[in-house]
Each structure stands twice: as structure tokens, then as C-alpha cells.
């Protein structure tokens, strides 16, 4: 059973970036306004997320590592009910089965918090601790008990890129939350709570502000907002391209095509624009197809959405380009 658990966990947790995603989303769910990610060796030796969210009491601190120990409401209309199915209430249990985990957590009116350690799914220690309100979860030596998985990891450079991708997706989905990230002791990102434009600029850096054109459209099927890159700043290869649906990062090849179509005649050969497009839709109007590493969404009325998105992007480009 122990081995079965490890294997199951290894399927769900593909790489350090998978852990980063789960921990960051938990911190967001806990109502944190400040979230810090600390990693070492691209997350292979350490992934730590520290938040100032609700924290947990001593009972929940232990329970959260049990399979299906979710405190989150399960309702059919929950947009990502499907996304989380099979993983809902399982992330921490899975991670703890294949790593060394240290949790420290404290709730607002509690005098002491809880500190506990788990190794390969076994509780090793639990003690009261004086801690700030919120939660810190440190995940060390990921895959220590699944050598095949550990050996399968890519170079630090590649794994770090995956971690950055997940970090950026969560940070872009929640500009109102302050995020920071440290790698091997140095600061990689410092993103104060901001509006969307500032958040994007904080991530892209440099003179990206002048490269962005706002996009905005409201129709019966979706509210669309965000920014798209001016064509003259399109890059060879893939640009920074993001879709968010109801504040979650998703992929959608069809809508991607709609955006690219709006740039018709404006792009040099092989160059791709950046875009940061947010769609708010009625949860009942989408279908989510889940794969451990991807989040793909199919919209009921995809063709209308395509037309609307393309027209809206085109309008923005026409209005703001010089
Ligand atoms: P899920 O997020 O699907 O509920 P997880 O395994 O990711 O499952 O987390 C299990 C539970 O642990 C959560 O439902 C939540 O109650 C608690 N939890 C996890 N991370 C945090 C956190 N950073 N702050 C407060 N509670 C947390
Ligand atoms: Mg979770």
C-alpha cells in the first residue's frame, strides 16, 4: 500500500513545478495576501511556500496530509470541480508520500501553532511552535524514495523554467496578491500587490509597459479583458502567451488561433505576439479536460467566442497601434 501510494503520487507529481503549483494554489485558497516561494536547485532539494493566509489548527495540520482531506466545498458548479477531481484533497498527501515535508502553521487567535514533519508519508514529529499567522510548507528531497523519478528529472535549468512558468501563472491570475520568489538564495521575482498591467510589467520586466495594448469586450457569453502585445514587439518563437478562465491558467489552441488571426498581416514571419487574456464565463458553459500537467478548456460556444476574441483583439490593435 505504501508503494502503491508512492507510485500514485509519482504519477500526479511530475516534477518540482507540480509541487509549486499545488502549494501556491493552496496559499491563494487560504486567503493569503502575501506568498513567498523559496526553492533550491530548481526545487529538487527544496520547495518552500510561506503564506500569511488563514493557517490551520493542530487537528487540520495533521489531517491535511491524509488523502481526501479537503476543507474545500465540493459543488457541481465549482468551475474546476473536474480539474480537481482525482487530485482534490490529494495534493498534500501525494507530495508527503514522496518527499520530506515540514509544515509550520498558526491561526490568527491561537497562542501557539503547530509544527510537524513527515517523511515518505510517515509522521515523524509534531510539536507546538510559536509562529506567525499563516502557513509554511517546505518540501525537501522530492522523489527521494522513487529513484527512477528522481533520475528522470531534467537539468536544473529546465526544471527551473517549469517552476517559473507555474509561479508566473499563479501570479498573473492574482495580481492583488503580493508574490516573491527566491532561487538558491537570490531574489528571482518581487511582485507587490498591483493592478493587472503592473503585474504583467513586473513579470515581463524592462520596458514592457509600452508594448501592451488593452483588450476589453463584454458579451453574453464572456467578459474578456487583459492585454495583448503590439505587433512590432512580437518575438521569434513562442511569446509570453497566457489565457485565464475565471482566474485560472488554461490552454486552448483554438482561442490561441483566434488571437493570432487578429494579427493577420502585422507579424513578421515566424514571430509570435505576447498576450495575457482573461475570460470570465459562466462555469456551466465550459468543459474541462484534465491531464496532470495541462488544463484544457472547451467552451460551449467556441465559435462565437473565437469570433468575438478575434474581433476584439483586432479592434485593440487598430486603435492603439501607431
Ligand atoms: P485541496 O486543496 O484540494 O483541498 P490539498 O491536499 O492541496 O487539497 O490540501 C488539503 C487541505 O489542507 C486543504 O483543503 C486546506 O484545508 C489545507 N491547506 C493546505 N494548504 C494550506 C495553506 N497554505 N493554508 C491553509 N490551509 C491549507
Ligand atoms: Mg490544493
Complex prediction ipTM: 0.99
pLDDT of 98 over the 50 cut: yes
* Cα–Cα dist 139/46, whole Å: 6
pLDDT given at position 192: 98
63 CA distance to ligand 1 middle (Å) = 10
Question: Which atom of ligand 1 approaches the CA of 93 most closely?
Answer: 6
How remote is the C-alpha of 247 from its chain's centroid? 10
Q: Where are the domains of the chain?
A: 2-191, 205-320
Can you tell me the distance from the alpha carbon of 169 to that of 35, in angstroms, rounded to the nearest whole number? 14
Residues 124-134, mean pLDDT to the nearest whole number? 97
For ligand 1, whether the C-beta of 114 sits within 6 Å is no
Pairing outcome for strands 235-236 and 122-129: unpaired
Q: In CATH terms, are 2-191 and 205-320 the same topology? A: no
Second-level CATH architecture of 2-191: 2-Layer Sandwich (3.30)
The residue nearest atom 7 of ligand 1, judged by CA position, is 91
Rounded-to-integer distance, Cα 140 and Cα 137, Å: 10
CATH code that applies to domain 205-320: 3.30.230.10
pLDDT at 33 (0 to 100):
98
Mean pLDDT of the chain: 90
> Mean pLDDT over residues 94-117, rounded?
97
- Dist. CA 236 → ligand 1 center (Å): 40
Structural contact between residues 31 and 177, judged by C-beta atoms closer than 8 angstroms: no
- pLDDT tens-digit series, residues 258-317: 999 999 999 988 899 999 999 999 888 888 766 655 678 888 899 999 999 999 999 999
- Residue 88: the pLDDT is 63
Cα–Cα distance, 39 to 23 (Å, whole number): 12
* Helix, coil or strand: residue 138: strand
94 CB within 6 A, ligand 1 = no
Q: Write the DSSP assignment of 142-210 as a string of letters.
A: TTTT-HHHHHH---HHHHHHHHHHHHHHHHHH-TTSEEEEEETTEEEEEE-S--HHHHHHHHH-TTGGG
3-34: b (≥16 Cβ within 10 Å) or e:
eebbebbbebbebbbbbbbbbbbbbbebebeb
Nearest residue by C-alpha to atom 20 in ligand 1: 26
Q: Which atom of ligand 1 is nearest to the CA of 26?
A: 20
What pLDDT, on the 0 to 100 scale, is given for residue 296?
80
Determine which of 137-141, 179-183, 247-251, 310-314 has the lowest per-residue pLDDT on average: 247-251
pLDDT for the residue 67? 79
d(CA 311, CA 217): 10
Sign of the C-alpha dihedral computed for residues 94, 95, 99 and 102 taken in this order: negative
Summarised one tens digit per residue, pLDDT across range 189-246 is: 999 999 999 999 999 887 888 899 999 999 999 999 999 999 988 888 777 999 999 9
State the Cα–Cα distance between residues 71 and 68, nearest whole angstrom.
9
* pLDDT value of residue 259: 97
Q: Which atom of ligand 1 is nearest to the CA of 51?
A: 23
Amino acid at each position: 500500500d505504501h508503494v502503491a501510494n508512492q507510485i500514485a503520487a509519482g504519477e500526479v507529481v511530475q516534477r518540482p513545478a507540480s509541487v509549486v503549483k499545488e502549494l501556491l494554489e493552496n496559499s491563494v485558497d487560504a486567503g493569503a495576501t502575501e506568498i513567498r516561494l523559496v526553492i533550491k536547485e530548481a526545487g529538487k532539494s527544496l520547495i518552500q511556500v510561506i503564506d500569511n493566509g488563514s493557517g490551520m489548527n493542530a487537528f487540520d495540520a495533521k489531517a491535511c496530509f491524509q488523502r481526501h482531506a479537503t476543507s474545500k466545498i465540493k459543488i457541481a458548479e465549482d468551475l474546476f470541480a473536474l480539474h480537481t477531481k482525482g487530485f482534490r484533497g490529494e495534493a498534500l498527501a501525494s507530495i508527503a508520500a514522496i518527499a520530506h515535508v515540514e509544515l509550520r502553521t498558526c491561526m490568527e487567535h491561537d497562542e501557539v501553532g503547530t509544527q510537524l514533519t513527515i517523511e515518505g508519508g510517515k509522521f515523524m514529529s509534531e510539536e507546538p511552535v510559536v509562529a506567525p499567522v499563516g502557513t509554511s510548507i517546505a518540501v525537501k528531497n522530492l522523489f527521494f524514495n522513487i529513484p527512477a523519478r528522481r533520475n528522470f528529472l531534467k537539468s536544473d535549468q529546465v526544471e527551473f523554467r517549469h517552476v517559473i512558468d507555474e509561479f508566473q501563472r499563479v501570479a498573473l491570475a492574482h495580481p492583488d496578491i503580493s508574490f516573491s520568489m527566491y532561487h538558491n538564495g537570490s531574489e528571482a521575482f518581487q511582485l507587490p500587490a498591483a493592478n493587472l498591467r503592473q503585474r504583467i510589467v513586473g513579470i515581463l520586466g524592462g520596458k514592457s509597459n509600452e508594448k501592451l495594448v488593452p483588450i476589453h469586450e463584454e458579451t453574453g457569453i464572456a467578459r474578456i479583458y487583459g492585454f495583448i502585445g503590439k505587433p512590432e514587439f512580437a518575438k521569434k518563437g513562442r511569446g509570453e502567451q497566457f489565457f485565464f478562465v475565471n482566474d485560472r491558467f488554461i490552454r486552448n489552441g483554438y482561442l490561441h488561433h483566434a488571437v493570432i488571426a487578429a494579427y493577420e498581416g502585422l507579424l513578421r514571419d515566424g514571430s509570435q505576439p505576447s498576450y495575457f487574456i482573461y475570460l470570465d464565463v459562466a462555469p456551466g458553459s465550459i468543459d474541462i479536460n484534465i491531464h496532470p500537467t495541462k488544463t484544457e478548456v472547451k467552451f460551449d460556444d467556441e465559435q462565437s467566442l473565437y469570433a468575438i476574441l478575434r474581433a476584439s483583439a483586432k479592434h485593440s490593435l487598430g486603435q492603439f497601434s501607431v
